[in-house]
Amino acid sequence: MSRLKHVLRLGGVVVAVIGLMCLPIGFRVSPKRDLSLFNNLADTGAFIATALVLIPVGLITIVLSYILPGELGE
C-alpha cells in the first residue's frame, strides 16, 4: 500500500504541475520563452480549460494518497 501512496502522490504532483504549465503567465517574462510554440499558445490562453481540469485532478489525487490507509509499520 505504501508504494501505491507514493505513486499517487508523484502522479498528482506531475498532473498538477502540467496543469500549472498550461496557465498563461504573460508575455515578455523571458526572451527564451518566446521560442516555444507551447508557451506562446499558453500565453494566449489556449489551454485554460485544460489547466482548470488538470490542477484539481492533481490536487484530488494528492489528497486521496493521504486518505488511503497506511501499513501497520507506518
Averaged confidence pLDDT in the chain: 87
Give the cell for residue 52: 482548470
pLDDT for residue 49 is more than 50:
yes
Is residue 62 within 8 Å of residue 17, measured between CB atoms?
no
Residue boundaries of the structural domains of the chain: 2-67
Q: Measured in whole angstroms, how far is the alpha carbon of residue 8 from the centre of its chain? A: 13
> For the segment 16-48, what is each residue's pLDDT rounded down to a tens digit?
999 999 998 876 667 777 788 888 888 889 999
